[in-house]
Amino acid sequence: MQDSKSAVVIIAHPKPGSITHSIADAFCSALQKGGIRPLIHDLYLERFNPVLEGSEIEGWPENRLSKEVATYQAELRNACGLTLIFPVWWNTYPAILSGWLQRVLTEGFAFGEGATLPGLKLRAQLLLTCGSSHSEKDHIYTDSIVSSLHYCGISDVDIQVKGDVHENLNAERRKSLMEKAYGAGIQFAENLKQG
């Protein structure tokens, strides 16, 4: 198992029983089934601090990073996939995920001189839930995050937006969402194994 390929999975939702979390569970089971080791991070559960301080930015060029940021970066260096799972909040992603991107994708690691991340051919998968129906405006939810990933050299970004997601979904719709999330995991695992 130690030598198997891995994907870092970031979950940004405060409620463990949420649909977003159930989608994450289904996706991660599929990854495992597909032979990819999911390195799961529930940012709220980990009590991740999303605030990027000035002192941390000053440490970037010399790579004087906090232990938690260094750990995420080490996992990303060894992974072949990065999955971000989150609800749409006010047309964008939750603040805790915004902070994760700001603190972990540092200069000297993800971009800039000597950056090690772009050369690693990391593939990304975004799994979003939102209350509104699917529309041609879905890209508004992801444009910012996709352009940030592209800036870091991660050009292969698959996006799945699940619309009409509410707390009181009926059993049939919930089942269908979980099947689709499982299918997305199987497909992502296949893509990662192809390199």
Name the residues that contact ligand FMN, by CB under 6 A. 13, 18-20, 87-91, 129-132, 165-167
Nearer to ligand FMN, 18 or 187 (CB): 18
CB of 180 to ligand FMN, least distance (A): 14
Six-digit token string for 177: 């969402």
Nearer to ligand FMN, 104 or 161 (CB): 161
Nearer to ligand FMN, 74 or 95 (CB): 95
CB of 22 to ligand FMN, least distance (A): 8
Nearer to ligand FMN, 3 or 136 (CB): 136
Nearer to ligand FMN, 1 or 90 (CB): 90
CB of 96 to ligand FMN, least distance (A): 12
CB of 107 to ligand FMN, least distance (A): 30
What is the C-alpha to C-alpha distance for residues 131 and 183, in angstroms, rounded to an integer?
Answer: 22
CB of 126 to ligand FMN, least distance (A): 13
**Interior angle at CA 75, CA 111 and CA 23, nearest 5:** 100
